[in-house]
Amino acid sequence: MHLVIYDVGRDPKGVRVRLVRCMRRLGGLQLQRSVWLVPEFSEELSKLLDEIREGGGSVLITRFRSEDLAESKFVGVVVCDDELGGLLKEVVSAFKSMKVKFAVDRKLKGGRSISSVVDRLCRRGANIILLVTRVISFERGMALGAEVYENSIYARVLGVTFLELAEVYGKRYLISWSARRENLIDELAEALKAQVAQGVMLDARIKARDGLVIRKIYGVRPGDEIYVNDVPVAKALTSEVALVCRRKRLIDVIGGVLYKGAAKKLGRMVLEEALVRTEAPSKPS
């Protein structure tokens, strides 16, 4: 990870715009107007920085470690469900007994997405993120964590320790997407009686071809109802389900049945950025 600080000065050739576009393509994170974190250097980036120096500007590059964000561990806890009172109390109790600084934020408060809550906690200085959720299968928990991590710019770029506590019918899994194994992971797993698992990123989730955008949904089971931006749009018939859009309108569901009138109710949307979730059919009481 590299911290890049620069001053372009006069900019007759538009190098500032080209530099910003380049760092965004590299997955960079803008901290201030001319202060960026970039995970790697490319030949294009090096040439642009040389162009700034040759034009009379200044450039400072230094190595950056995520540990520099905070001298001690600060855990951001993201509650993904309003019905997790008991589990959340155990999490809070565990962190208190471990004497770890933490802050709790709820996804549903204000209608924010989970990834935006993660980014907010990272901006507050959290160097560890813990999602707390209850799901109907381990696969669904893995899919949720992978999608949130993929969409959380701050978590990925800053290299925070990203964890998910997923409860599946009383059994608990502590899933980690971090390369390094922190002592806190083992301590937390022991305190919450959870099994530690390694998170796996879900590649090729979205594809575009022949004017269509196809988005695969992970962790689906036959009979599940599929929601897009909180609008029920289809029912899954298999575990291999994908949404299909053309010109920002939902036109088909592969592996499922598209509800009549659902596309019209949903309206135009960007499938790549839409909130997609599934819900199991309620059991008869």
Residue 153: its pLDDT value, please?
Answer: 73
Instruction: Evaluate if residue 284 carries a pLDDT over 80.
Output: no
CATH number at residue 30: 3.30.70
Q: C-alpha 148: how far from its chain's center?
A: 3
Does residue 109 have a pLDDT over 80?
Answer: no
Q: Is residue 188 part of a domain?
A: yes
Q: Are residues 190 and 235 in the same domain?
A: no
Tell me if 285 is assigned to some domain.
no
pLDDT of 229 reads: 82
Tell me whether residue 87 is in a domain.
Answer: yes
Q: Are residues 81 and 186 in the same domain?
A: yes
The pLDDT tens digits of the residues spanning 79-104 come to: 987 777 789 999 999 999 999 999 99
Tell me the DSSP string of the chain.
-EEEEEE--S-TT-HHHHHHHHHHHTT-EEEETTEEEES---HHHHHHHHHHHHTT-EEEEEE--GGGG-SS-EEEEEE--TT-HHHHHHHHHHHHHHT-EEEEEETTGGG--HHHHHHHHHHTT-SEEEEEEEESSHHHHHHHHHHHHHH-HHHHHHT-EEEEEEEETTEEEEEE--SS--HHHHHHHHHHT-EEEE-----S-EEEETTEEEEEE-S--TT-EEEETTEEEEEESSS-EEEEEETTEEEEEETEEEPTTHHHHH-S--TTTS-EEEEPPPPP-
Both 90 and 189 in a single domain? Answer: yes
**Domain extent for 45:** 2-64
Give the residue-averaged pLDDT of 212-237. Answer: 88
157-185 pLDDT, tens per residue? 777 889 999 999 889 999 998 766 678 88
| Assigned domain for 211 exists | yes
Highest-pLDDT range among 8-17, 51-60, 184-193: 184-193
Q: Name the least confident of 224-233, 243-252, 256-265.
A: 224-233
User: 8 and 58: one domain?
Assistant: yes
Polymer length in residues for the chain: 285
Domain of residue 137, CATH code: 3.40.50.11220
Asked if the model's pLDDT at residue 283 lies above 90, the reply is: no
Residue 267 burial (10 A CB sphere; 0-12, 13-18, 19+)? exposed
| 173 in the same domain as 83 | yes
Residue 253 has pLDDT above 80, yes or no: yes
Query: Given this model, what pLDDT does residue 78 score?
Result: 93
Domain boundary among 198, 219, 244: 198
Is residue 96 domain-shared with residue 57, that is, in the same domain?
A: no
In this structure, are 182 and 99 located in the same domain? yes
What per-residue confidence (pLDDT) applies to 181? 66
Answer whether residue 284 is part of any domain. Answer: no
Is residue 96 located within the same domain as residue 194?
yes
Residue 109 lies in a domain: yes
Domain boundary among 13, 48, 64: 64
Cβ atoms 5, 37 nearer than 8 A: no
Mean pLDDT of the chain: 84
* 164 vs 62, more confident: 164
Check whether residue 131 and residue 163 sit in a common domain: yes
Confidence of residue 66 (pLDDT cuts 50, 70, 90): low
Total domain count, the chain: 3
Residue at 194 is within a domain: yes
**pLDDT at position 245, please?**
94
Residues 95 and 188 placed together within one structural domain of the fold: yes
Last residue of a domain, which of 64, 80, 108?
Answer: 64
pLDDT > 70 fraction of the chain, expressed in percent and rounded = 89
Residue 70: pLDDT over 60: no
Q: Tell me what pLDDT residue 179 has.
A: 64
Exposure string over 61-98, b if 16+ CB within 10 A, otherwise e: eeebebeeeeeebbbbbbbbbeebeebbebbeebbeee
Does 190 share its domain with 117? Answer: yes
In angstroms, how far is CA 96 from the centroid of its own chain?
Answer: 26
Residues 150 and 217 in one domain: no
Could you tell me if 175 and 163 are in contact, meaning their C-beta atoms sit under 8 angstroms apart?
yes
Summarised one tens digit per residue, pLDDT across range 113-122 is 888 889 888 8
Q: What is the pLDDT of residue 189?
A: 92
Q: What is the pLDDT of residue 80?
A: 85
Instruction: Classify the C-alpha dihedral 43-49-50-55 as positive or negative.
Output: positive
Q: Is residue 243 domain-resident?
A: yes
d(CA 222, CA 231): 19
